């Protein structure tokens, strides 16, 4: 029993159960302490990306047999490059390109693995009925989850996204999804509404007879979604060693465009497993609740919600922060108390001791739309490198910390292809994008010479198959009706 709920040590689970359940029965998240795992991080650095991934996943999710086979199946012919997540030098920083997978966003790294974990877990548990995967998405998780789970035996998947809250390309990626086991539905509300709705469906269904079926999650509340992301911090570090930029043992800083705190938490896991991670820089857009939290220790979600040009980070309730809080204090009843305050009052404050620990690992900043557009243009003009608005937020926030890092290298995580957000990118290059996003993609390609990923280009002629729009109060009924089909 390596895992327990962040809110109570009474709810324990082995790693297979944690993945299959997605969320603990008390609404907490399943967590283990990676610093307690004996992990030979130096040998991991000498591995290929896939072997590195298998090694890390075996350490974090020890109850799955043959992780190597799981990882091989997960990444077979899915990514553009053999190393999965290449590191490229841009000026004197390094950009870790996490978007070379089937849906052109970093979510692919984990959501290629998760269906394999669920399938292996079902077999181990002798499950006969379907696992229904519930997913709330701010834009990118939805498509990556659909891509991973469509037509996987023994699974069904339901994706909820904020109505009019995602980019046109993101919406088309989801609404054109084929597969006999998929449902895609827009919810009137923002991402936080969709995510809270999904959590509510989980707790309501605990009491209900689902006819043998069970629920799980493809969001990073599921540890099976978080664990596969730890690999790319090792990958980037190994790349810097291989390029001769650092020696094994040297410190590397990472800048992470952050929304739900999953990506950056994977960096904290990497550090706890031994990787010499320096600072983790938490970069937010104008929804800067995390910047304030890391700087002051007060988490206050009672603030205006902005729709920005980096929609995958338009989030005010960052679920995975709960896991970090647990790892910092190891006191589940304290975490439960904070989460209760967050849901009843919308605000909580951590103790000075925990804040100090938090600030020893993390620094934070934010960047508004105007500055992210400016950054895309500036980096393209100076280095010929085209980045998406999420990556631009990270690059921009990195500017404020770069001097404090001295000669130590900095890796900026690039979370999406610029072609997922073509209008913002073209505007950044000084042209008016107009309404036709596919014409914008072609124009961007002419200017930058960067090829349009095939999975995005083909959306122009794909048939829209999903048009459901519901109110957030109706999410439970929507799920129950699909379960009973
Ligand atoms: C999901 C996403 C993020 C935020 O990642 P979290 O794990 O939610 O912090 C950033 N950029 C892009 C492009 C994303 O899709």
Q: What local confidence, expressed as pLDDT, does residue 207 receive?
A: 82
Helix (H) or strand (E) holding 385: none
Task: Tell me if 254 sits within 8 A of 409, measured CB to CB.
Answer: no
Q: What local confidence, expressed as pLDDT, does residue 54 receive?
A: 98
CB of 262 shorter than 6 A to ligand 1: yes
Residues 264 and 259: their CA atoms lie apart, in Å, by: 9
User: Among 146, 390, 421, which residue has the most ligand 1 atoms within 8 Å of its CB, making it the best to mutate?
Assistant: 390
CB of 394 shorter than 6 A to ligand 1: no
Residues 418 and 119: their CA atoms lie apart, in Å, by: 33
419-442: burial string, b at 16+ Cβ within 10 Å, e else: bbbbbbbbbbbeeebeeebbebbe
Q: Is residue 357 part of a domain?
A: yes
Q: If you search the block for the tokens 């390109």, which residue do you land on?
A: 97
Give the atom of ligand 1 at the shortest distance from the alpha carbon of 390. 11
What residue numbers bound the domain in which 301 lies?
87-103+226-460
CB of 85 shorter than 6 A to ligand 1: no
CB of 107 shorter than 6 A to ligand 1: yes
CB of 176 shorter than 6 A to ligand 1: no
- Any idea what the CATH number is for the domain that residue 436 is in? 3.40.50.1100
Q: Is residue 323 part of a domain?
A: yes
**DSSP label at residue 156:** E
pLDDT per position in the chain (485 positions), as tens?
A: 699 999 999 999 999 999 999 999 999 999 999 999 999 999 999 999 999 999 999 999 999 999 999 999 999 999 999 999 999 999 999 999 999 999 999 999 999 999 999 999 999 999 999 999 999 998 899 999 999 999 999 999 999 999 999 988 999 999 999 999 999 999 999 999 999 999 899 989 988 889 889 999 998 899 999 999 999 999 999 999 999 999 999 999 999 999 999 999 999 999 999 999 999 999 999 999 999 999 999 999 999 999 999 999 999 999 999 999 999 999 999 999 999 999 999 999 999 999 999 999 999 999 999 999 999 999 999 999 999 999 999 999 999 999 999 999 999 999 999 999 999 999 999 999 998 999 999 999 999 999 999 999 999 999 999 999 999 999 999 999 999 98
Ligand 1 geometric centre to CA of 125 (Å):
32
User: Among 260, 289, 424, which residue has the most ligand 1 atoms within 8 Å of its CB, making it the best to mutate?
Assistant: 260
Q: Is residue 361 part of a domain?
A: yes
Token digits of residue 423: 């209008």
Token digits of residue 394: 């990270």
Alpha carbon nearest to ligand 1 atom 15, residue: 140
The pTM for the full model equals 0.96
Residue 249 buriedness (CB in 10 A; 0-12 / 13-18 / 19+): exposed
Alpha carbon nearest to ligand 1 atom 11, residue: 415
Give the atom of ligand 1 at the shortest distance from the alpha carbon of 388. 13
Helix (H) or strand (E) holding 348: strand 347-349
Q: What local confidence, expressed as pLDDT, does residue 209 receive?
A: 87
Q: Is residue 447 part of a domain?
A: yes
Q: What local confidence, expressed as pLDDT, does residue 41 receive?
A: 98
Q: Is residue 385 part of a domain?
A: yes
Q: Residue 274: left (phi > 0), alpha (psi -120 to 50), or beta? A: left
Q: Is residue 195 part of a domain?
A: no
Q: Is residue 52 part of a domain?
A: no
Q: How many domains does the chain have?
A: 1
Token digits of residue 159: 């994706």
Of the CA atoms within 13 Å of residue 381, those in its CB half-sphere come to 10
Contacts of 331 (CB under 8 A, 6+ apart): none
Token digits of residue 315: 């989030």
Residue ranges of alpha helices (H) inside 222-331 are 223-226, 231-242, 262-272, 289-296, 321-329
């Amino acid at each position: 029993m390596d895992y327990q709920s962040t809110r109570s040590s009474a709810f324990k689970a082995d790693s297979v159960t944690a993945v299959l359940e997605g969320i603990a029965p008390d609404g907490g998240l399943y967590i283990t302490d990676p610093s307690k795992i004996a992990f030979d991080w130096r040998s991991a650095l000498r591995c290929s990306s896939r072997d590195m991934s298998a090694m890390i996943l075996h350490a974090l999710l020890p109850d799955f047999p043959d992780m190597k086979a799981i990882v091989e199946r997960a990444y077979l012919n899915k990514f553009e490059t053999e190393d999965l997540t290449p590191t490229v030098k841009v000026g004197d920083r390094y950009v870790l390109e996490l978007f070379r997978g089937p849906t052109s966003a970093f979510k692919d790294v984990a959501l290629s693995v998760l269906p394999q974990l669920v399938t292996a877990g079902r077999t181990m548990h002798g499950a006969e009925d379907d696992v229904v995967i519930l997913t709330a998405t701010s834009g990118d998780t939805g498509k990556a989850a659909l891509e991973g789970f469509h037509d996987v035996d023994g699974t069904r998947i339901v994706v909820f996204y904020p109505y009019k809250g995602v980019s046109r390309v993101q919406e088309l990626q989801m609404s054109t999804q084929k597969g006999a086991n998929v449902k895609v539905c827009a919810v009137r509300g923002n991402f936080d509404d969709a995510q809270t709705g999904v959590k509510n469906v989980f707790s309501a269904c605990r009491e209900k007879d689902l006819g043998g079926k069970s629920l799980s999650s493809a969001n990073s509340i599921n540890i099976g979604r978080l664990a596969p992301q730890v690999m790319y911090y090792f990958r980037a570090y190994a790349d810097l060693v291989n390029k001769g930029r650092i020696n094994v043992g040297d410190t590397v800083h990472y800048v992470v465009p952050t929304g739900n705190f999953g990506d950056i938490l994977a960096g904290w896991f990497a550090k706890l497993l031994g990787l010499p991670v320096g600072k983790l820089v938490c970069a937010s857009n104008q929804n800067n609740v995390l910047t304030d939290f890391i700087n002051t220790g007060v988490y206050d979600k009672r603030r205006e919600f902005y729709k920005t040009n980096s929609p995958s980070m338009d989030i005010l309730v960052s679920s995975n922060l709960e896991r970090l809080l647990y790892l910092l204090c190891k006191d589940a009843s304290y975490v439960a108390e904070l989460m209760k305050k967050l849901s009843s009052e919308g605000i909580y404050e951590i103790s000075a001791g925990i804040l100090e620990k938090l600030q020893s690992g993390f620094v934070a900043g934010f960047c508004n739309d105007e500055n992210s557009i400016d950054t895309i243009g500036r980096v393209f003009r100076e280095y010929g490198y085209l980045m998406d608005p999420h990556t631009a937020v990270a690059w921009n926030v990195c500017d404020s910390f770069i001097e404090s890092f001295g000669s130590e290298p900095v890796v900026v995580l690039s979370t999406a292809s610029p072609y997922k957000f073509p209008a913002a990118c073209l505007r950044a290059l000084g042209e008016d994008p107009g309404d036709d996003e596919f014409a914008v993609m072609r124009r961007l390609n002419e200017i930058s010479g960067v090829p349009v990923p095939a999975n995005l280009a083909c959306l122009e002629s794909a048939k829209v198959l999903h048009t459901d729009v519901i109110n957030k109060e109706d999410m439970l009924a929507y799920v129950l009706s699909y379960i009973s089909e």
